[in-house]
Structure 1
């Protein structure tokens, strides 16, 4: 069984993604983690303190998940970029809180009221965009070296589509809209890199 601190971190990731930050209480977090309030305050001074730590915990978990994803095995950087989108589609399963983003959820509620949380979320999102940017830059050099756009801007656009798709998934209570958004994102990326259809190209 995870230690008390880890249980609180995992509870924060789950409860905040389920209820939102404002609606989450210390009692909710303790009940989900199966710990007392005394244990909570032994590790964290406040809900804000736990949220900050949960951002780092979530980012570390996400980094491990994506580092082990199969799209990294492709030799072609564009195939890795498209494979990333395919992988995001493949993990759109389970309850909403299973696949929506803690950082996106937090920053929507705290961007003006909790600058420390906002900045931590921005660092986490930017780090993930940085991972995408490396393959985007290599794919740009290979397929469209004179393109006017930057790899960083496309990485940010990809993350924007993802975060927006999570909002609509919450609004509709369904992953279907997120899958549609990611399908459009994949088609856009193929057009951006001058590929009519990577799938068709491989099958011919």
Structure 2
């Protein structure tokens, strides 16, 4: 069985795909905790037990690895958000979504922030391809929030004249800003407050 690397177009055996996936997953964990700039290729090799020849078989450069990490983290986050938001159709459901994110971040006392946001802050100004990929991933995330708000609007919960796309952008901004404040303070309270204020604004636009 052969697979195709979505970045290089190179055909991979099942074993090769497994090796590549292991390298990307380990690199993602290291970059989340240590930061992108502080994570070296040698760090990744040590964590995975891979050789340099294996690494460069799958990645032309460290930058190629970072782009693969962006894809990996993005798809992981989006899979979580699709599951969390896919069936939300009430304001109470949005509150439960908020609670789950805050409680998950509280387990780390706010440390490290949003995995996708952390990548955006480090690579967007240095790698335009990675920046464009991150922009698309955030657009998909906002789209999931907008879909929830459209369902609320269709059910008559939100006023018909409100812009769900603008509300979704504001909610995403509150979420990401909350992650950053929680990271700086090692306390999720600012994150909870930021999202609560965004949700309170949405609730103020209720049609009832």
Matched, 1:27 2:17: no
Cα deviations by residue, 1:59-98 (Å, 9 ceiling, x for unpaired): 22223223333x6555x44333333223322322433798
Matched, 1:109 2:99: no
TM-score after normalising by structure 1: 0.79
Deviation at 1:128, TM superposition (A): 0.9
Structure 2: 5+ residue stretches without partners: 1-16
Cα deviations by residue, 1:125-168 (Å, 9 ceiling, x for unpaired): 11111111111122234133343x41111111111111111211
Higher helix proportion, which one? 1
Q: Distance in 2 between matches of 1:185 and 1:133?
A: 14
The residue number in structure 1 matching 2:9 is none
Q: Distance in 2 between matches of 1:145 and 1:191?
A: 10
Equivalent of 1:55 in 54, 62, 70: 70
Deviation at 1:120, TM superposition (A): 0.6
| Residues matched between the structures, number | 191
Q: Distance in 1 between matches of 2:81 and 2:112?
A: 13
Deviation at 1:52, TM superposition (A): 1.1
For the aligned residue pairs, the C-alpha RMSD in angstroms reads 2.7
The answer to whether the 8 A contact 2:111-2:186 is kept is no
Matched, 1:6 2:21: yes
TM-score after normalising by structure 2: 0.77
